[in-house]
Structure 1
Amino acid sequence: MSTTARSVWLRRVDPSVTPPTAGLWRDIDVLALGHAAARETFTTATPHMASIWTDLFQSILAAGPELRWRDDGPGIGRDAKSAYSSLLGRYMARAYLTAFEGARVLVPLDVAKRWLEGTDFVVRKDPPSNGLEADWIGLDGDGLVIVEAKGSHNNALAAWEKPTGSPTVLQSAIGQVERTAVFRRSTGHKLPSKRWAVASRWGTEENGRNPTVIAWDPDEGELGKADYNKLERILMQADLEAVASGMRYSDGIGAPSGLLTVEYDLRNRLRVGERLVEPGLFAAVGPFGIFPVRNQNDLPRLRQARDLAPNLALASLSAQYIKSVQEGFGSAYDNLITKDRTASQGGLEIIWPEKGEEIALET
Structure 2
Amino acid sequence: MEPQRIGIIGVGQIGKQHLETYAKLQGVEVVAAADVNVQELERTADKYGIRHRYTDFRELLAREDIQAVDVCLHNNFHAPVTIAALRAGKHVYCEKPIAGSYTDGKAMVDCARETGNMLHIQLGTLYTKETKAAKALIADGKLGKLYHARSMGFRRRGRPYVDGYGAPTFVKKEISAGGALFDMGVYHISQLLYLLDLPVVERVSGKTYQETDMDPVRREASGYSVEELGLGFIRFAGGLTMDMIEAWAIQLNGFEGSSIIGSQGGVRLSPFSFHTTLSDMDMNATFDLDAMDYRWHQLRENQDAYDSSQSHWLAALQGRAQLLPTAQIALSTMLISEGIYLSEKLGREVTSEEIAAASVSTAIKL
TM range (shorter): under 0.3
* TM-score for the superposition, normalised by structure 1: 0.22
